[in-house]
Every structure is written in structure tokens, then in C-alpha cells.
Amino acid sequence: MSLNDVAEADARPIAVLASSRAVIEGELSAATVVMDQDTGKITSIFHSVLPASDFPPGTAYADHSPHILIPGLVDAHVHLNEPGRTEWEGFDTGTRAAAFGGVTTVIDMPLNAIPPTTTIAGLKEKVQAAEEKCWVDVGFYGGIVPGNASELRLLVEQGVRGFKGFLIDSGVPEFPAVSSTDIALAMAALADEPTTLMFHAEMIPPLAASVGDDVQWSLPPLAPIGPLNEYATFLASRPVSFETYAIAQILSLAYIAPNLSLHIVHLSAIEAIPLLQEAIAHGVKITAETCFHYLSLAAESVKDGDTRHKCCPPIRSKSNQNGLWEELMQDVGCIKTVVSDHSPCTPNLKLLPSSISSSSSGDHPHHSNSKSEKDKGDFFAAWGGVSSVGLGLSILWTEGRNRGISVEDVVRWCCKNTAKQVGLERQKGDLAVGFDGDVAVFDDEGVFEVGEQAMLFRNKCSPYQGMTLKGVVKETWVRGQMVWEREGRGFGKEPPRGKLLLERRR
């Protein structure tokens, strides 16, 4: 498209972003990106920085050199918890936090909202709760639970981006774990559907073959190796065998649906990597993700009682972290994506001792805690989940720069591949003509401290509190419209314009 074409394109309003550095179709170069503000699409890209004078008078134009234009991140693993547990999170606060960090699309997990997204009725209720509240685009996963196999194809028709099931207790009673029989039924139902079947892959290995794999509950050990407020005690209770056994179980059933894409969420244990590599070599369609916290936090650094670090699977050793990075940086590795797994709760559910600083939510009162001080810091009783939506780009950049990553790597792991995972690879995850005008303006040299002003999620309780991170998002654009500006308008006065992504996957 020529500049004359740009100027004469039905006189529709356009926005133009330029920079000496931009990641265009996976490559770093100078670029000028033109977006149609009516359709929200990128209409043209020039591989140089064009001046404002090349565009019609009044065009929204900004040259962001030397900051980097990157595609908006697609965070394919977020718990927004609405309806039902909006005191934990919600569409408004969760998507604001996402926009702060350059995330332009989030995919909401089927739990911990009430009801969960395991039926058509549950999806409709969630969609109704999300309408006119989202600052970025939002898609939805369905869930697999015992007895809902007949709902799965219907959920595909209604636009869910994939499905998730647990092989171990999920932590909430309305989303029970699945057995191998349930998994087989789900695979058979989805065998020819354009979707992704994902698993929380932890499972208590049976003591003998006769034990079976019925729903398993995660309880404190009968004989803990140490005090329950020591992280080492918790870590020992979720050994790597939980992950490897669960993944082996999933792989043993893959023959049921050889064309169905399978995916392991939040992979933590490096011992599982050879299992996945071997399966892929034999033609199984399976990928894995890992999370910002597994790549940046290590067990050796977790202080006694600091339950902000509790999640499942657990944050493991520094050497395990190094192994995750090694696999991630392989072009043909099984770990394809990095996501937040933002899984918040109210601060009282973290049972933090008074010796550990944590502020309560900024928009509702701190809930009282009936636990005595001596009971606080219990890693087994505390809610498991790390809050980090909107911080991931900076977390990854801070840790990854020391390991030699490039901004192109970040785009591949957090934009392009996550979009592909959820069937959005033809409209999101890249800066290309015809794609949505989802852009983050990234200052790769900027730094900030993670205080309350950087945690826009509802409850300001995160293991990243007080840390200094490198890499600052200056602006976030969703479908050709600026939704967040760090220095200036903030979120402005316009209402949320995020779109609910409910078109059927193809």
C-alpha cells in the first residue's frame, strides 16, 4: 500500500506508530505501523520511520524511537475469577493490570469463578459478567470435569479457546479432578475439533497398580519433613514425580485423539522434559508452557512463611530454573510459551505472618483472619497462586537479559506462540498487515519498583513486591486504540473497549 492509498482509504481515521526499533513479523527493524481505527486492523507497515508530514493533517501520530514497538502480549493463562469470587479479582481490575504491562489479550481460565466454565450455562454467565468491563480483549477456556463430556463440543461451538482439566485437587470444590476415564471421554469428544486440551499435570503416583487414579486430594503430609512454615517442607510435599507421573498418564491416552492438540500448563519440573521430547519425536501433538515465576524465582530464596510464593506445581530450585531456561531457548524445545498463571486471592487467604510486609487490596477492606499468628505462614493452609498479570514482560526481561535473550525471543514466547496456542495466530501475536492493531511501546532500558502503583490487579499481594524490574511499557494499544499511557492520560476517560473473543476456532 502506498502513502496515497493510506491517505485516501475512505477517509477513515488512522493512528500511526513509528520507531527506529520494532518487531515486525518476528524481526527487529525500523518501522511505521498504520492502523485503521474503525476496523482496528493494521493496514500497512513501512520498514522505515516516516515523518508525520507524510500523513493527512490531524492524524494521530507518534515516533517512539528508540523505544521498541512489539505486538501486544497474549497471556494465555489468567484467572479473573468473575463471577463468584470478585473479591479475588475481576474483569475490570484484571484487564487493567494486563494493559499496564502491554498485555492486549488474556484468556480466562475456567476456574475459580462460580460457576466454572464447564457448561454452556456457565459460559453464558461468565460472558454476561465480562461485558463492558474489559480493557483488553478476553477469550475463555472451558473446563473438563467428571461428567461434562457431552458439553465439550457445544462449548467449542460457542467459542471457547481450549479446555483445561486437573489430575489432582484443584483447590476449589466446584472444579473436581479428572480420572483417566474422564480424560479418555474428553479426548474422544474433542478428537476432531479445532481446539487444545490442556492439563494441570500433577498426580499422586499410586502405591500399586491396583490403587487406580480416582480424584486425588492434596493434603499436608502425615509426616512432614519440617515445620509447615518452611518452604522446603512444602516443596518436598510436591515432588517432581507428581508431574512426571501425570504427564506419563496423559501421554498414555494420546492415541485416542492423535489429531488433537495437547498442552501441559505451568510446567515446573525439568524431569518431565524428556518425556515430552520423546512423545513429540513419536508424533504426539503436545506442547508445554512455563511461567514467569518459575523462570525468575527459586526455592532457595523463599523466606520462611512467605506464602506469596506458594503455587502448584511449586517453584523449584535454581538448577531446575536453569533447566527450564535451557529448554525454552531451544528452537525445537517442548516449552513453547511463557504465561503468568495469575491466580490471585484476598490477602487473608495467604496467611502471611506480620513479619512479612503485604498490603491489602486498594478497593475493598482487608478481610479479617481468624488464624492466630502462630498459624500464619503455613504453606499448606495458604491459598496457592502467584499474582503477576501485567508484570510478566518486565519479569522476563529482567531475568532474561542476564541469559542473553532478545526482544524477538520474548515476542515469540509471549505473543506469537501464545496466540497460536489459542487459535488466534491469524489476528494476534504479530505486527503484520491484516492483524489487530495490538501494540505495546516498550522501553527496554527503563526500570521501576513493584509497588502498589505497579500492581493494578485487585489484591496487592505478590512475591514481586519491592523488586526492581527492568523494562517499562509506555503505551498499550488494543485494535488501533490507545488504552493505557504511562506518562500522561493513564486509562483516560473513555470506557473499556475490550472485545470478548467468542468466534469459533477454525
Are 400 and 409 a contacting pair, CB within 8 Å?
Answer: yes
353-405 residue pLDDT tens: 988 854 433 444 344 445 566 679 999 999 999 999 999 999 999 999 999 99
**What pLDDT was estimated at residue 363?**
42
Sites in the chain below the pLDDT cut of 70: 1-10, 207-221, 357-374
Distances (CA, A) of 259 to 151, 204, 251, 262, 287: 20, 28, 13, 9, 13
Closest CA to 342 of 216, 248, 462: 462
Under DSSP, the state recorded for 308 is G
Residues 6+ apart with CB under 8 A from 76: 107, 289, 337, 339, 418, 421, 422
Q: Which of 301, 295, 307, 314 is nearest to 358 (CA)?
A: 307
Residue 359, pLDDT score = 42
Q: Where are the alpha helices (DSSP H) in 140-229?
A: 152-157, 180-190
Indicate the pTM of the whole model.
0.94
Give residue-wise pLDDT tens across range 162-211: 999 999 999 999 999 999 999 999 999 999 999 999 999 999 887 666 55
pLDDT attached to residue 214: 58
E strand residue ranges, 167-293: 196-200, 261-264, 286-291
Bridge partners (DSSP) of residue 440 are 70, 476
User: What is the model's pLDDT at position 367?
Assistant: 42
Which pLDDT score, from 0 to 100, does residue 488 have? 87
Q: Average pLDDT, whole number, for the chain?
A: 93
pLDDT confidence of residue 370:
52
Q: What is the pLDDT of residue 368?
A: 43
Q: Nearest to residue 287, comparing CAs of 202, 197, 165, 203?
A: 197
Q: Rounded to an integer, what distance in angstroms lies between the CA atom of residue 258 and that of residue 254? A: 6
Q: Do the bridges between strand 60-63 and strand 335-339 make them parallel or antiparallel, or are there none, so unpaired?
A: unpaired
Q: Which helix (H) or strand (E) holds 45?
A: strand 42-46
- Specify the DSSP class assigned to residue 244: H
Residue 240, judged by CB atoms within 10 A of its CB (0-12, 13-18, 19+), counts as middle
